[in-house]
Structure 1
């Protein structure tokens, strides 16, 4: 009989007495690394000045902002697609092998992209950071989430919040790291970008290996001491299981797909517009000479939004364990509709403090939507293939990642073509995003328990486990 390799799922099964709180650090090691994707914007100006060497006066041969924006879009699209394609493979081989694949793809993507930067070949950058790195994003995103849900059946919201909070916070590490490395290498390569990519690829690969070596899965039938599933108070929570192939045949899956897509699309409305909106609406003209919002202050505002994006992932997801997943999304959408519609009025009235507070609450719910959806899926479809189902649902994120920016930029440009400035140029954006949330609210309202005809029968379940 062949000996199991270190990467096999059987080698990751925890023994008796294993402390499940050792698993979250392994999950965070993966998500804090791949969360760097949110910090890609720090490379855009340096990468757009590799020929000229001057970020303010790019050469005609330099890459344009539009060309560089495609890099991030490819990575987000591949995140959703790879999560959907490899979700069932993850459930079969276990999290250790999946995490290793993620680390190799994500770290390797940086190395390939560095070659593209060195040769000034945008297609190599697209392939490296976008395609290969994007596959690392998708596989890495779902692998620890599925494992945590199995370890924390009593607190799935807390579990998913812990992991996905790391993805939201990855940019807070990745951004200053990239800036520091580019400054260190600026004398040995154009803008210091290529060696920075090499260094970050190696650093993240090593960092992610901590998760690979330390991850564990619970033994079959394991439950926390004293845990008794309670479905009487919430008809949406099932003790049965639905496999990934049957899950996508249910109306509930597609309703949740719409829920996630609408939440992300609307959130991108704030992310795309926050910095220019706050600078243009709260200018010296609106606030009085010397009292306007500077570019530096706007950057601080964007950083504050990132912090609330991170904190919201843990707060709202944890709260959903008490409130229930469906009521929590009702709050996201119901309160969000009001707040999105209020933003243009606050900007027009130069109510800076309230504007900042409202945007922070909006971003907390945007982050919360990402962290709550895996627990929602667990409630609806069980734990057997929740990672694979989550992976397929993430195609909603890929869709929103393309649709959101296109919609926001189109609406903003349309208003500016009418010579509208300041808050007036962004009114249509935020009112449209409020309408997007109405669609999400209705989809969530229609979610009901999954029909028993989709449940995996006991004999089939035993075969899957074996």
Structure 2
């Protein structure tokens, strides 16, 4: 499937909705918890077992993005979105069969392995194309799409809950819910497949302000991973994501623990509302902070994410149990930085390595997400369990883990300061044909 070139006069503003249709669909991953209680009751699973499909999906996201990034770059966005559609939707259909036959391993295989491949390919599928269409505003463009991944759960969570209520929470009802998800997301993602277009050289030159701006730096994915800049950004992303997941993964019990000894303890419904607020902050940060990075620069915005994030963690650690509004505001800021970090990193990569293989480079960098996805919950949960065994309670369960998060953010801040322009020895020469195409199409 060859990349579809945009016809003359094609509006670049049709491309973000194409990307958004894919990211809103695969963002359902953040709503997996809706299926956990009915699966546990219907198939007699414990909490660890019911988490397996989600955990495997996140692992496969990182692996498929890393190993498939170069192929996505070579085959183009329509091919990548098609693969994402087939894998993500098929994952739900296989899961439906697993629920229907009460074979849990099929749900793990479908949602976790097959669907996880769709997650990874779908996540990186529009990045390179968006940056090529919007060289003047790459942070905003990628923020629009990646905002969908953060906001997908806001749609999927109530929708899934309503289906389980209508169909029933038994194996048959769960299977029907999976089936509807698979078919509906296939149709929704198909909109992106049909809408996406690759810019012609003249389109890129016009958006960037001229042919010279359109060419820019060209660094291959293979060369990029050999540069210190790539590994500095790997540390930056890993530490920022670890800090965000540290709160996101344990949000409800954390706020309950912090104010368990106060005169106004947090109810279960209030804790659930806190989780919803965090999701909204995550989504808003993806478009808000990434757009801000177009104005103040990528290094500066990561100084904010990491530096101010460390101060927010310090404020919670010292004063968080004294006032609920202070705790909530600090947590919302941290989660907005978590989302903003995801949305800004493709533009940062574009600034350093150019648009040549930015999708493939982004895919390799997402292994930092897989690492943080294990590291963040491990730090917070393991330390909280050990503190509880030692007889501590309330906010004291989290003091040590918050100190570790502050240290990690400081490490990320320092790594960001070491980021410099890529040495010219890693640059590839601009192909003569591209320059000739730009001049010919501009004179046409």
TM-score w.r.t. length of structure 1: 0.90
**Counterpart-to-counterpart distance in 2, 1:39 and 1:416:** 29
SS of the residue aligned with 2:397?
Answer: helix
Asked whether 1:271 is paired with 2:248, we answer: yes
Q: Which one of the candidate residues 317, 320, 331 is aligned to 2:304? A: 331
**Counterpart-to-counterpart distance in 2, 1:403 and 1:238:** 39
Show CA shifts across 1:98-126 (max 9, x none). 10110110010011112222233332222
Aligned residues: 436
Q: Residues 229, 401 of structure 1: CA spacing in aligned structure 2 closer, same or farther, 3 A cutoff? A: farther
Q: Residues 415, 229 of structure 1: CA spacing in aligned structure 2 closer, same or farther, 3 A cutoff? A: farther
SS of the residue aligned with 1:218?
Answer: coil
Conservation of the 8 A alpha-carbon contact between 2:321 and 2:395: yes
Gaps of 5+ in 2: 438-444
Q: Which residue of 1 aligns with 2:129?
A: 147
Asked whether 1:198 is paired with 2:179, we answer: yes
Show CA shifts across 1:326-367 (max 9, x none). 111011111011111211333332x11111111111110010
Q: Which residue of 1 aligns with 2:430?
A: 458
Q: Residues 23, 172 of structure 1: CA spacing in aligned structure 2 closer, same or farther, 3 A cutoff? A: same
Q: Residues 226, 442 of structure 1: CA spacing in aligned structure 2 closer, same or farther, 3 A cutoff? A: closer
Asked whether 1:383 is paired with 2:355, we answer: yes
Asked whether 1:244 is paired with 2:221, we answer: yes
Q: Which residue of 1 aligns with 2:273?
A: 300
Offset of 1:437 from its aligned partner? Answer: 0.7
Q: Which one of the candidate residues 396, 411, 416 is aligned to 2:383? A: 411
**Counterpart-to-counterpart distance in 2, 1:277 and 1:377:** 34
Conservation of the 8 A alpha-carbon contact between 2:133 and 2:207: no
Offset of 1:282 from its aligned partner? Answer: 2.0
Q: Which residue of 2 aligns with 1:48?
A: 40
Offset of 1:403 from its aligned partner? Answer: 1.9
Q: Which residue of 1 aligns with 2:106?
A: 124
Asked whether 1:114 is paired with 2:108, we answer: no
SS of the residue aligned with 1:87?
Answer: helix
Conservation of the 8 A alpha-carbon contact between 2:218 and 2:430: no
Conservation of the 8 A alpha-carbon contact between 1:229 and 1:239: no
Q: Which residue of 2 aligns with 1:208?
A: 189
Q: Which residue of 1 aligns with 2:442?
A: none
Q: Which residue of 1 aligns with 2:415?
A: 443
Q: Residues 50, 74 of structure 1: CA spacing in aligned structure 2 closer, same or farther, 3 A cutoff? A: same
Which range is displaced more, 335-344 or 364-373? 335-344
**Counterpart-to-counterpart distance in 2, 1:99 and 1:273:** 32
Q: Which residue of 2 aligns with 1:54?
A: none
Pick the structure with more helix per residue: 2
Root-mean-square deviation (CA, aligned residues, Å) is 2.1
Show CA shifts across 1:407-455 (max 9, x none). 2211111111111111111111211111111111111111111000001
SS of the residue aligned with 1:63?
Answer: coil
Q: Which residue of 1 aligns with 2:54?
A: 72
**Counterpart-to-counterpart distance in 1, 2:18 and 2:89:** 17
Q: Which one of the candidate residues 26, 34, 37 is aligned to 2:26? A: 34
Offset of 1:230 from its aligned partner? Answer: 12
**Counterpart-to-counterpart distance in 2, 1:159 and 1:43:** 32
Q: Which residue of 2 aligns with 1:228?
A: 209
**Counterpart-to-counterpart distance in 1, 2:10 and 2:69:** 26
Conservation of the 8 A alpha-carbon contact between 2:34 and 2:160: yes
Conservation of the 8 A alpha-carbon contact between 2:286 and 2:343: yes
Which range is displaced more, 401-410 or 192-201? 401-410
**Counterpart-to-counterpart distance in 1, 2:434 and 2:60:** 33
Q: Which one of the candidate residues 312, 336, 343 is aligned to 1:364? A: 336
**Counterpart-to-counterpart distance in 2, 1:139 and 1:31:** 11
Which range is displaced more, 398-407 or 154-163? 398-407
Conservation of the 8 A alpha-carbon contact between 2:91 and 2:114: yes
Q: Which residue of 1 aligns with 2:320?
A: 347
Gaps of 5+ in 1: 1-6, 52-61
Q: Residues 230, 416 of structure 1: CA spacing in aligned structure 2 closer, same or farther, 3 A cutoff? A: farther
Q: Which one of the candidate residues 229, 253, 270 is aligned to 2:230? A: 253
Show CA shifts across 1:271-304 (max 9, x none). 1232112112223x40x2xx32100011001000
**Counterpart-to-counterpart distance in 2, 1:224 and 1:447:** 27
Q: Residues 446, 314 of structure 1: CA spacing in aligned structure 2 closer, same or farther, 3 A cutoff? A: same
TM-score w.r.t. length of structure 2: 0.94
Q: Which residue of 1 aligns with 2:64?
A: 82
Q: Which residue of 2 aligns with 1:162?
A: 144
Q: Residues 416, 383 of structure 1: CA spacing in aligned structure 2 closer, same or farther, 3 A cutoff? A: same
1:309-328 aligned within 5 A: 309-328=282-301
**Counterpart-to-counterpart distance in 1, 2:313 and 2:216:** 37
